[in-house]
Amino acid sequence: MEQVSRVIIVGAGIGGLCSALAMAKQGFDVMVCEQTKHLGEVGAGLQISPNAFKVLRELGLESALQPCAFVPQRATMRDFKTGEYYLEIPLAEKTINRYGAPYWHLHRADLHSVLVQACIEAGIELMLGATVTGYKENTEANQVSLFLDDGQELTADLLIGADGIRSKIREQMLGRQKATFMGQVAWRGVIPVSDLNVEIKPDACVWVGPNRHFVSYYLRGGEYVNFVAVEERNDWTSESWREEGDIEALKQSFSGWHPEVTELLSAASSTFLWALNGRDELPTWHQGRVVLLGDACHPMLPFMAQGAAMAIEDAYVLAKCVAGYKMSDALVEYEKIRKPRATKIQKMSKANASLYHMHGGVLGKLKLKALQAASHFVPDVIQSKLDSVYGYDVTKP
């Protein structure tokens, strides 16, 4: 049960590739199995906060990612109609000074591409078109076998399920359970700045409004603007978790909002629509020589912009635990370290929905006004509430 030499990872998303790279840097032989035949990510942005950045830096990716990055000046929260600021938190140099790492905006495809190249250079085997049907542990041989739909059987000392909210690995480990639709959908898109007739401020901006909110920020050094528009719904019946969205329906949903929002959307020609799904806290993240990572074990609403960050943190911690502990203890230690943090961020993200969507009538408005006052008069109090998220550093011993 103790020795680990070969690791197989199911899923070549951000979490899976970070895990592969972290494992390879610890000296393990790594294979990644991905069901799609071509590697790539849907065009959308990511907010890389300092806690995630420190891992990417430790994995040696900073210089490759820097030309793709945009550094936001502030994190802001604004009223959907008047544009009034409820929150203004300085980022840029302030973030580096406070947390020892920057806050970056990256195109998801850029991060994914850099990770793929780093994995190739590290000698990691990437198997595409590999559809997983299940796994089986061989306790006598201290190995686990992964089965593919083409009849192949792959063996390793450790199997990592980084295959998302619909994880096949999680399903076999803990039983089939449909993800819970959280009553919200997210429209996502990227717009070339050259197509805009409105000036977008260089911030990570959340526009809050009744039963919906809108996020905008720059990507690729200011060449593009990324948007995420979330609205509450109870009518998601599609079997797909993501589909091409009706751009006119999106524009109608946010009609009457501040001109910066409506003018930005007027330049959008396409969008994808995501169902926001979740799961209850899992009883365990591991079993024998099989372990889960990222959305496979802790999917979360995007209201803290920490979904990718949590998977990136998971990847680093898991690799360190497997390298530093006996196999019988490594996965226990990984879950012990990661589960409380991921669960906390899940709860924080869910709580933000009420604030962003102006729930609570007069009381909700008072909360926003209180946030506005604190932002102006005691900004360090507001900043300190983010310290437990952004100041967390899994790369420290």
Instruction: Flag whether pLDDT at 60 surpasses 70.
Output: yes
- Quote the CA–CA distance of 240 and 228 in Å, as a whole number: 19
Residues 139 and 11 in one domain: yes
pLDDT for the residue 205: 97
> Which residue among 263, 278, 293 closes a domain?
278
pLDDT surpassing 70 at residue 2:
no
Q: Could you tell me the CATH number of the domain that includes residue 270? A: 3.30.9.30
Sign of the dihedral through C-alpha 303, 383, 390, 261: positive
Give domain status of residue 363, yes or no: no
Phi, psi angle pair for 199, to nearest 5°: -85, 125
Q: Kindly state whether residues 168 and 206 are assigned to the same domain.
A: no
With a CB cutoff of 8 Å and minimum separation 6, the contacts of 18 are 55, 56, 59, 115, 311, 312, 315, 316
- Decide if 314 is inside a domain: yes
Q: How many percent of the chain have pLDDT more than 90?
A: 79
* DSSP string computed for 311-370: HHHHHHHHHHHHHHS-HHHHHHHHHHHHHHHHHHHHHHHHHHHHHHTTTTHHHHHHHHHH
Whether the per-residue pLDDT at 220 is higher than 90: the answer is yes
**Looking at the structure, do residues 159 and 293 belong to the same domain, yes or no?**
yes
Task: Quick: pLDDT tens for 77-114.
Answer: 999 999 999 999 999 999 999 999 999 999 999 999 99
Give residue-wise pLDDT tens across range 237-276. Answer: 565 556 788 999 999 999 999 999 999 999 999 999 888 9
Task: Look at residue 43 and tell me whether its pLDDT is greater than 70.
Answer: no
The domain in which residue 260 lies consists of 180-278
Say if residues 349 and 25 touch (Cβ distance below 8 Å): no
Residues 247 and 193 in one domain: yes
pTM for the whole structure: 0.95
Does residue 46 sit in the same domain as residue 14? yes
- Say yes or no to pLDDT of 1 above 60: no
Check whether 222 has a pLDDT greater than 60: yes
Mean pLDDT across 189-200: 94
- How many angstroms from the chain centroid is the CA of residue 22? 17
Same-domain check for residues 285 and 273: no
Using the predicted structure, report yes or no on whether residue 139 has a pLDDT greater than 90: no
Examine the domain organization and report whether 42 and 138 are in the same domain.
yes
- Are residue 32 and residue 126 in the same domain, yes or no? yes
pLDDT digits (tens, 9 = 90+) for 283-321: 999 999 999 999 999 999 999 999 999 999 999 999 999
336 compared with 44, residue with greater pLDDT: 336
> Looking at per-residue confidence, does 239 or 206 come out higher?
206
Give me the pLDDT at residue 289, please: 96
CA distances from 274 to 50, 60, 182, 195, 239 (A): 26, 32, 11, 24, 11
Mean per-residue pLDDT over the chain, rounded: 93
Distance between CA 162 and CA 168 in Å, rounded?
10
Collect all residues with Cβ–Cβ distance below 8 Å to 281 and sequence separation of at least 6: 298, 339, 343, 346
Chosen domain end from 216, 249, 278: 278
Instruction: Tell me what pLDDT residue 207 has.
Output: 97
* Domain end marker among 229, 256, 278: 278
pLDDT of amino acid 140 = 84
- Which residues are annotated as catalytic? 217
Average pLDDT over residues 110-125: 97
CB-based burial label for 53 (10 Å; 0-12, 13-18, 19+): buried
Whether residue 115 is found in the same domain as residue 128: yes
- pLDDT mean over 186-209: 95
Question: In this predicted model, which residue has the larger pLDDT, 212 or 41?
Answer: 212
> Is residue 203, in this structure, part of any structural domain at all?
yes
Give the separation between CA 360 and CA 311, rounded to whole angstroms: 32
CA distance 128 to 38: 7
- Tens digit of each residue's pLDDT (9 = 90 or more) over 328-381: 899 999 999 999 999 999 999 988 888 899 887 777 778 888 888 888 777 787
Asked whether residue 52 falls in the same domain as residue 186, the answer is no
Question: If we measure between CA atoms, which residue out of 178, 155, 357, 350 comes closest to residue 253?
Answer: 357
Residue 98 lies in a domain: no
Please check whether residues 212 and 336 belong to one and the same domain.
no
Structural domain count, the chain: 2
Whether residue 256 is found in the same domain as residue 292: no
